[in-house]
Amino acid sequence: MKRVALAGVALVFLCAAVGAQTMTILCENDPPNQFTAADGTLGGFTIEVVREIQKRVGNTDPIQLVPWARGYDLIQRQPNVVLFQMTRTADRNPIFKWVGPVMEEVFALYSKAGSPIHVAGLDDAKKIGSIGVYLNDVRDLILTKDGFKNLDRTDDPVINFKKLILGRVDLIAASPDSIADLAKSAGYSISDVRMVYPFAKSQIFIAMSLGTGDDVVAKWNDALDAMKKDGSFSRIFKKYYPNLDLPGPAITTF
């Protein structure tokens, strides 16, 4: 009987070990969604959301801040990788699994304040000298797919902003919810730029690699849904975005 009992205990621990899937959890530097605070810790809107989800599903894996291009490459090549925030698009929809949405976002073209540049549509924008974009960011992908040949890519959105102010690019692709923080990180102010043309609107998610188990994705989504129902998601969201609307139901068809 003792051996049977010990075997049963061993089986319980084995099952727990199998069920406790290690995740590689990655994000980019993108204030106010995720950033390194003065004390060296990670903070921001999505960091708080993901950490609360982790508590609810029993995950203790660390969140790592990496360049977007590196994270985007890893999530396509390895299983059990989490990357946030990611815009859900028609092209991306079948190649990742999704938790969310956590935001809805507008994408726009910005010029330096005082610039005479006028853009009435994307065809006008294609005739501009150069447009700064963040490498492999959704704005880069959207404009590339639309046939833009005048994109100037960098692996740091702060560099893009500085290049705009210094006149090295004519426009940059950014978002109204993060442009003020981007300006501050570059050493400037939101008053140094102006929105020229909004060109897209999308929902923002936490993405998981295709090799991640459906049960894991479901648990994370269930935890996020519970946060939305009990008000904890709203409290975190309004802490960072008091003037924005909460995201609506997930758009899953394109």
What's residue 163's pLDDT?
98
Mean pLDDT of the chain: 91
Verify that 97 and 121 share a domain, yes or no. Answer: no
Verify that 197 and 124 share a domain, yes or no. Answer: yes
Does residue 246 form part of some domain?
no
Does residue 90 form part of some domain?
yes
Verify that 166 and 128 share a domain, yes or no. Answer: yes
Q: Which residues pair with 169 in a beta bridge?
A: none
Does residue 3 form part of some domain?
no
Tens digit of each residue's pLDDT (9 = 90 or more) over 114-123: 999 999 999 9
Of the candidates 180, 177, 183, the one whose C-alpha atom is nearest the C-alpha of residue 204 is 177
Asked whether the predicted pLDDT for residue 14 surpasses 50, the reply is no
Q: How many domains does the chain have?
A: 2
Structure tokens at 238: 């309004």
Query: What are phi and psi for residue 85, nearest 5 degrees?
Result: -80, 155
Q: For residue 7, what are the CA distances in angstroms to 14, 16, 20, 54, 241? A: 10, 14, 20, 31, 53
Verify that 74 and 39 share a domain, yes or no. Answer: yes
Q: Which residues pair with 42 in a beta bridge?
A: 36
Does residue 86 form part of some domain?
yes
Tell me the pLDDT band of 21, cut-offs 50, 70 and 90: confident
Verify that 62 and 128 share a domain, yes or no. Answer: no
* % of residues, the chain, pLDDT over 70: 92
Verify that 183 and 157 share a domain, yes or no. Answer: yes
Does residue 60 form part of some domain?
yes
Verify that 183 and 209 share a domain, yes or no. Answer: no
SS3 at position 49: helix
Verify that 97 and 126 share a domain, yes or no. Answer: no
Tens digit of each residue's pLDDT (9 = 90 or more) over 66-103: 999 999 999 999 999 999 999 999 899 999 999 999 99
Q: What's the domain range around 89?
A: 23-104+202-240
Verify that 156 and 206 share a domain, yes or no. Answer: no
Does residue 17 form part of some domain?
no
Verify that 98 and 216 share a domain, yes or no. Answer: yes
Verify that 184 and 233 share a domain, yes or no. Answer: no
What's residue 246's pLDDT?
95
What's residue 20's pLDDT?
58
Verify that 97 and 135 share a domain, yes or no. Answer: no
Does residue 7 form part of some domain?
no
d(Cα 178, Cα 100) in Å, to the nearest integer? 19
Does residue 133 form part of some domain?
yes
CATH of the domain at 62: 3.40.190.10
Tell me the pLDDT band of 28, cut-offs 50, 70 and 90: very high
Does this model's pTM top 0.75? My answer is no
